[in-house]
């Protein structure tokens, strides 16, 4: 994936109020932001909405960007935070609507609520995926915990190094490695439950 | 640690970051453990699959849509800000005015209240600022001014009585008229009309006509009668007193002959103008009565009174007359022997009544009691000083304290305090 880390000129112009430079900078990163959001929420429309929100936040807060980290890392952090917040809201919404029954007859519905994010109707992008392995992989990725999913997305899809992942998630590098190992192992267990080490 | 359980080695192996030695270790384990080899193959395939996946294309114009929405919101915010700006300005213009105006009003009211409370009451009363040169009408003056007049009057009384040993002088002349009125009221309430007339009489003729003729002294317990008799003696000339006593005694004897009453007449002699009242008063009291009253001062009042008292109890009238004259150092002929002879002095031992006026003269003792049935006049302790004043008025200035005895200390606070509390009476004084 193309890392627009060299677009420092556009960044400087955008911070000085150049709308064209701001547009170029955002268009350079929109695809990456969209894919991160898509793999996090596993829904194209939600991902597009999250991408728009991420771009708006970047424009609103670009004056406050101090350059302590890379612009890509800062942008990805914003997108990841919005995606995680979105997942929490969605999980809370589905969990509270079905788990509050408490009756044995509705235990099935309670269990169903945990699988709703994964059993949503595939969007257009999912339908075009021809690779079943990749689809299964995306499905298994969506079943992971948010932290493990975020590490997998940033490392394998966004192809960020450990240091940037640590800055994005605001955790130590060792935590990133441990989370990544557990995420790969969990992903493997979900794809092939029989496989154990 | 088993390399199969080392995350760093596995991750390094998957990403190709291991050293050759670590890489050889993992390869050796991979060949030895098929499950471990399958796990590593699965992880590596997943990673390669994710990395090789074509990134999904975002919706067209996602950035433009975001920027357009952002610009629109900014314009709307500016429009709202521009539209709301005058309102905000006007609101902020009024807010300071209302706020500071309210604070200023509260401070002004508070300051006014504080200043008003700190002003002296005299300054607050406009009438008090009336110039002294203007004609002053007491009737038109407010109650405060009238009280001030009464206060000055009382202060004058206190000044006049400083150093004085006479109770009546202590009260001063300002209360004389009021006490005279009170005396009249008391007499009218408790005495027959004739005795009232006698008490009010000031000349000898009136006393002779009204007093002696009407005062039968049948009821010796009547305190008013004693008072009237004392007044009579005091106001009448010595000779007139003697003759009046003689006439009265005759009248009483006649009454006694008819059985109407038992005459008991006070010894109304006046050996000298100075000691006559004391002698008379002493004659009206017996030892038993004095002890009953706790009037030890009765015997200290004067040699005249003490001697007369003892004579009245034991001796004959003639001896009494002689001893009285001797004890009082008076001229023998100034004592009316007829009056003494015609009077049954011993009868006074049986008298149970106490005369408040005599009590006041003898010792100023504030006790006036009457044990017998004729308790028509009960003078309360508060009025005893006034009784003393009454008798002083009756006896004019003839009552001179005995230099051998300690004059009684008047209770200044009681009458003054009593009068001082009743401001309405002070203000209504004529």
> Across residues B234-261, what is the average pLDDT?
43
CA distance B301 to B127: 53
> Residue B104: pLDDT above 60?
yes
Of B56, B64, B65, the CB nearest to A34: B56
> Across residues B370-376, what is the average pLDDT?
39
Residue B76 confidence (pLDDT): 79
DSSP state of A171: S
CA distance B139 to A146: 102
Measured N-to-C along each axis, helices A173-191 and A162-169 cross at an angle, to the nearest 10 degrees, of: 100
> Across residues B161-171, what is the average pLDDT?
45
Lowest mean pLDDT among A79-88, B186-195, B347-356, B390-399: B347-356
A98 at the B interface (CB within 8 A)? no
Enumerate the residues of chain B whose CB falls inside 8 A of the CB of residue A177: 7-8, 11
Residue A169 confidence (pLDDT): 92
> Residue B265: pLDDT above 70?
no
Nearest-CA neighbor of B381 among B392, B391, B372, B368? Answer: B368
> Residue A75: pLDDT above 70?
yes
DSSP state of B353: B
The secondary structure of B281-298 as a DSSP string is HHHT--HHHHHHHT-THH
Residue B112 binned pLDDT confidence (cut-offs 50, 70, 90): very high
Percent of chain A with pLDDT over 90: 34
Q: Measure CA B85 to chain center.
A: 69
> Residue A23: pLDDT above 80?
yes
Residue B411 confidence (pLDDT): 59
Tokens of A79: 């997108």
Selected residue of A10, A25, A44, A52 to mutate for chain B interface (largest B Cβ count, 10 A): A52
- Contact call for B64 and A197, based on CB within 8 A: no
> Across residues B320-345, what is the average pLDDT?
48
Residue B197 confidence (pLDDT): 57
The secondary structure of A115-150 as a DSSP string is HTTTSSPP-HHHHH---HHHHHHHHHHHHS-HHHHH
> Across residues B232-240, what is the average pLDDT?
45
- Contact call for B7 and A177, based on CB within 8 A: yes
For residues B329 and B404, is the Cβ–Cβ distance under 8 A? no
Measured N-to-C along each axis, helices A19-41 and B62-118 cross at an angle, to the nearest 10 degrees, of: 100
Enumerate the residues of chain B whose CB falls inside 8 A of the CB of residue A191: 42, 46
Residue B196 binned pLDDT confidence (cut-offs 50, 70, 90): low
**Most confident by average pLDDT, B64-73, B352-361, B385-394:** B64-73
> Across residues B392-413, what is the average pLDDT?
54
> Residue B233: pLDDT above 70?
no
Give CA angle at A147 (A141, A149), nearest 5°: 15
B65 at the A interface (CB within 8 A)? yes
Residue A40 binned pLDDT confidence (cut-offs 50, 70, 90): very high
Residue A12 confidence (pLDDT): 80
> Residue B365: pLDDT above 60?
no
Lowest mean pLDDT among A135-144, B88-97, B143-152: B88-97
Residue B65 confidence (pLDDT): 83
Cα torsion at B124, B128, B130, B131 (round to 10°)? -110
> Across residues B106-134, what is the average pLDDT?
73
Tokens of B36: 């471990």
The residue written with tokens 């059985």 in the block is B259
Number of continuous H segments (helices) and E segments (strands) in chain A:
10, 0
Residue B4 confidence (pLDDT): 73
Residue B387 confidence (pLDDT): 56
Residue B422 confidence (pLDDT): 55
The secondary structure of B356-382 as a DSSP string is HHHHHHHH------B-SS-------HH
ipTM, interface predicted TM-score of the complex: 0.75
Percent of chain A with pLDDT over 70: 75
List of residues 6+ apart from A55 with CB closer than 8 A: A26, A30, A33, B62, B63, B66, B67
Residue A114 binned pLDDT confidence (cut-offs 50, 70, 90): very low
The secondary structure of B154-192 as a DSSP string is HHHHHHHTTT---HHHHH-GGGHHHHHHHHHHHHHHHS-
Q: B140 vs B246, which has greater pLDDT?
A: B140
Cα Rg of chain A, angstroms = 19
Lowest mean pLDDT among A54-58, B26-30, B143-147, B194-198: B194-198
List of residues 6+ apart from B185 with CB closer than 8 A: none
Q: B34 vs A126, which has greater pLDDT?
A: B34
Extended strands (E) in B65-185: none
Q: Chain-wide mean pLDDT for chain A? A: 78
Residue A62 confidence (pLDDT): 84
Q: Is the dihedral of CA B141, B145, B151, B152 positive or negative?
A: negative
Q: Which of residues 149-188 of A touch B (CB under 8 A)?
A: 152, 156-157, 159, 177-178, 180-182, 184-185, 187-188
Residue B106 confidence (pLDDT): 95
> Residue B217: pLDDT above 80?
no
Residue B293 confidence (pLDDT): 46
Enumerate the residues of chain B whose CB falls inside 8 A of the CB of residue A157: 50-51, 53, 55
CA distance A131 to B279: 152
């Amino acid at each position: 994936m193309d890392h627009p880390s060299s677009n420092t000129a556009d960044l400087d112009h955008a911070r000085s109020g150049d709308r064209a430079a701001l547009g170029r900078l955002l268009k350079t990163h929109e695809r990456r932001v969209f894919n991160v959001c898509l793999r996090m929420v596993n829904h194209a429309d939600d991902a597009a909405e999250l991408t728009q929100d991420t771009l708006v936040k970047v424009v609103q807060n670009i004056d406050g960007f101090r350059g302590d980290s890379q612009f890509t890392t800062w942008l990805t952090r914003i997108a990841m935070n919005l995606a995680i917040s979105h997942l929490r809201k969605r999980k809370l919404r589905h969990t509270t609507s079905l788990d509050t029954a408490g009756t044995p007859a509705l235990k099935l519905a309670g269990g169903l609520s945990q699988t709703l994010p994964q059993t949503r109707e595939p969007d257009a992008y999912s339908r075009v995926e021809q690779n079943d392995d990749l689809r299964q992989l995306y499905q298994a990725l969506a079943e992971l915990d948010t932290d493990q999913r975020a590490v997998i997305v940033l490392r394998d899809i966004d192809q960020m190094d450990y240091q940037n992942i640590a800055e994005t998630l605001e955790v130590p590098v060792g935590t990133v490695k441990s989370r990544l190992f557990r995420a790969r192992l969990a992903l493997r267990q979900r794809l092939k439950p029989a496989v154990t080490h | 640690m088993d390399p199969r359980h080392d995350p760093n080695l596995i991750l390094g192996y998957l990403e190709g970051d291991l050293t050759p030695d670590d890489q050889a270790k993992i390869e050796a384990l991979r060949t030895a453990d098929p499950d471990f080899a399958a796990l590593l193959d699965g992880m590596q395939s997943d990673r390669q699959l994710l990395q090789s996946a074509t990134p999904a294309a975002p919706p067209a114009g996602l950035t433009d849509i975001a920027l357009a929405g952002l610009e629109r919101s900014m314009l709307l915010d500016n429009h709202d800000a521009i539209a709301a700006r005058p309102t905000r300005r006007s609101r902020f213009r009024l807010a300071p005015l209302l706020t500071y105006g309210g604070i200023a009003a509260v401070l002004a009211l508070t300051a006014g209240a504080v200043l008003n409370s700190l002003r002296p009451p005299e300054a607050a009363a406009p009438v008090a600022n009336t110039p002294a040169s203007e004609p002053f009408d007491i009737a038109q003056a407010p109650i405060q001014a009238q009280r001030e007049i009464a206060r000055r009057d009382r202060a004058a009384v206190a000044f006049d009585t400083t150093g004085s040993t006479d109770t009546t002088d202590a009260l001063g002349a300002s209360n004389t008229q009021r006490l005279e009125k009170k005396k009249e009221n008391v007499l009218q309430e408790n005495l027959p009309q004739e005795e009232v007339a006698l008490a009010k009489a000031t000349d000898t003729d009136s006393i002779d006509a009204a007093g002696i003729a009407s005062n039968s002294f049948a009821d010796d317990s009547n305190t008013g009668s004693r008072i009237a008799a004392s007044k009579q003696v005091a106001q009448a000339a010595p000779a007139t007193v003697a003759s009046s006593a003689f006439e009265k005694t005759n009248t009483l004897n006649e009454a006694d002959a008819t059985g109407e009453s038992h005459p008991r007449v006070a010894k109304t002699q006046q050996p000298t103008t100075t000691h006559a009242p004391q002698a008379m008063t002493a004659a009206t009291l017996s030892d038993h009565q004095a002890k009953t009253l706790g009037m030890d001062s009765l015997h200290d009042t004067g040699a005249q009174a003490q001697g007369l008292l003892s004579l009245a109890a034991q001796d004959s009238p003639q001896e009494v007359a002689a001893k009285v004259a001797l004890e009082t150092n008076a001229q023998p002929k100034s004592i009316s022997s007829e009056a003494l002879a015609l009077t049954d002095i011993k009868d006074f031992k049986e008298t149970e009544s106490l005369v408040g006026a005599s009590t006041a003269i003898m010792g100023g003792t504030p006790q006036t009691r009457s044990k017998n049935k004729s308790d028509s006049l009960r003078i309360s302790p508060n009025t005893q000083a006034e009784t003393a004043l009454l008798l002083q008025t009756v006896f004019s200035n003839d009552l001179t304290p005995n230099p051998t005895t300690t004059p009684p200390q008047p209770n200044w606070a009681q009458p003054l305090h009593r009068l001082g509390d009743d401001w309405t009476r002070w203000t209504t004084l004529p």
